Amino acid sequence: MLLLWEEIIYDIIYTLPPLDWCRKGVCYLMEILASFLVAVAAGVACHYIIKWLDSDE
Collapse the DSSP code of 57 into the 3-class scheme (helix H, G, I; strand E, B; otherwise coil) and give the result.
coil
State residue 27's pLDDT score.
Answer: 65
Q: What is the pLDDT of residue 26?
A: 60
* CA angle (8, 22, 36) in 5-degree steps: 45
pLDDT at 1: 53
pLDDT tens, residue by residue, 13-54 = 777 766 666 666 666 777 778 888 899 999 999 988 988 888
CA dihedral 38, 40, 43, 45 (to 10 degrees): -70
Residue-level pLDDT at 19 = 63
